[in-house]
Structure 1
Amino acid sequence: MFNAFMDDQQLLRYSRHILLPDIEYQGQEKLLNSHILIVGAGGLGSPIAIYCAAAGVGKMTICDFDDVDLSNLQRQIIHDTQSVSINKASSAKQFIQLLNPDVEVIAVTEKQTEASMKVIAKDVDVIIDGSDNFTTRYALNRIAVSLKKPLVSGAAVGYEGQISVFDMRHDKSPCYHCLFPDTGDRSETRCADNGVFSPTVGMIGTAQAAEVMKIILGIGESLEGRLLLLDVKSMQWKNIQLKKDPSCAVCSK
């Protein structure tokens, strides 16, 4: 993880960021000294990890206990044919180390409990949900609420995707449970069962990466309190305003 002044190679690598008035040298230092948690190294996790690593996010913990399958390669762009049968978090680490040696990657390859994931999340700046199931999403939401961490959540299937930010550092922010209450009867809609147009996950994952970096840098307006819906077939984005549920079982006081 980066802890000193940038050297000449780093100044050149990140020069196009440093030229931006909202980032400059100090902003790039923030990225280099940040630590993010990416849960899921699949369709969403791939562009999240790639763009965050390329941008110089200094440390990332990537959690995925699944192995790369040939059917993943149509959309999970951090893996290649040589990665088949390798753990996804380990494969992602290999890719990132080649992309940007400045980045420290911790690959968590074993399935985690909510308690163990909370320990992992304790020291990170942003939690990113790139999973494909409600069980993990609800667990990450509870962790984010408990630790008062920002959670960047995304989902995609078919030609449609969605993204939002639940910034639990702010008392007025809704949480994931406010948007999708856990009634215990939600059916999963997964790519493995329903298919997915490969650019869809790329577009949502890239948007998640942008939200992550904006949060770290403290620039712009995040998607906190908004749900952004994408329809790739019509190439339309829809913005829906969200409100905190005062009776939410997870985040209400």
Structure 2
Amino acid sequence: MNDKKLLRYSRQILLPEIGIEGQQTLLNSTLLLIGMGGLGAPNALYLAASGVGHLIIADFDQVELSNLARQVIHHTNDIGKDKVISAKEKMLAINPDIQITTLTDLSEDNIEDWVQKADIVLDGTDNFNTRFRINQACVTQHTPLVSAAVIRFEGQLSVFKGYEKNQPCYQCLYPTTGNNDENCSNNGILAPVAGLLGTMQALQAIKVILNLGEQLTGKLMMVDALDLNFRTIKLSKDKHCPICNLSQ
């Protein structure tokens, strides 16, 4: 680490739980961020600023006016631009020393290849089918999944390691049947709620990388932003789960 990087990350390096060794671990890490929307916007900015060395960002969509209230990585003059291009520009403006790979074609056919390249996956998507496929790829590739979701004034956050014997995967929490794909497009969301959960998602990813503190593995944090209430419940592995039980 050169003098410029030591200065850039000096406030993190001062933390005894991180230090130079921990910062170097961040610089050596690769994270896959799926979705550059309300969750992906803040987590991308903070992970870039924190010095994660390689960030792979995936989104097929373009910036729209209705995105701007909560997707703070995109600006008015980005309307019509691919979200990954818009996001990359802001991330490099904060930290030009990191590597950013953009994907607009993440699909059923290539998701496992990209998950395999990552140390951790952050899921910031807004529909169950995509989340199920991301979860399946993470279980198959033995990659930790940091999952966040937001709607209205509410949010959820968890870390899934379903490839481990006693740990649940995302599908243990949400079976494929009975989901109605609620999302903020249909139900609305208060903008800072996305910022709160997206920032916490970045925090959890760093804690997993560095093996720090409470990582929410096998737990679900539920946030009620209207009452400012945080509640955490324990999650159990579903012995009938068709995804993570087949990986054992």
State the partner residue of 1:3: none
Q: CA RMSD, aligned part only?
A: 1.0
- Higher mean C-alpha deviation, range 55-64 or range 214-223: 214-223
1:158 partner letter:
R
* Mapped pair 1:57 → 2:47: no
1:235 corresponds to which of 202, 221, 228: 228
2:206 partner letter:
M
Distance 2:80 2:186 in 1: 20
Change over 3 Å in CA distance of 1:169–1:20 after alignment to 2: farther
2:132 corresponds to which of 138, 153, 156: 138
Which whole-Å deviations, capped at 9, do the CAs of 1:141-160 have from their partners, x for residues lacking one? 00011001100001001000
Distance 1:74 1:106 in 2: 25
1:121 partner letter:
V
Secondary structure in 2 aligned to 1:122? helix
1:145 partner letter:
V
State the partner residue of 2:217: 224
Secondary structure in 2 aligned to 1:71? helix
CA contact (8 A) 2:163 2:244 kept: no
Distance 1:161 1:142 in 2: 22
1:105 corresponds to which of 100, 108, 123: 100
1:13 corresponds to which of 8, 11, 34: 8
Distance 1:101 1:47 in 2: 17
Structure 1 residue ranges without an equivalent (≥5): 1-5
CA contact (8 A) 1:90 1:109 kept: no
State the partner residue of 1:82: 77
CA contact (8 A) 1:67 1:87 kept: yes
Normalised by the length of structure 1, the TM-score is 0.95
1:186 corresponds to which of 179, 192, 197: 179
Which whole-Å deviations, capped at 9, do the CAs of 1:104-152 have from their partners, x for residues lacking one? 1111023x32231111111110011000000110000000110011000
Structure 2 residue ranges without an equivalent (≥5): none
1:32 corresponds to which of 24, 27, 38: 27
* Mapped pair 1:151 → 2:158: no
Q: Which runs of 4+ in 1 moved over 6 A?
A: none
Task: Quote how far apart the aligned CAs of 1:168 are.
Answer: 3.7
- Higher mean C-alpha deviation, range 186-195 or range 223-232: 186-195
How many residue pairs get aligned? The number is 246
Task: Quote how far apart the aligned CAs of 1:169 are.
Answer: 5.2
* Mapped pair 1:47 → 2:42: yes
Distance 1:202 1:250 in 2: 31
CA contact (8 A) 2:161 2:217 kept: yes
Normalised by the length of structure 2, the TM-score is 0.97
1:75 partner letter:
R
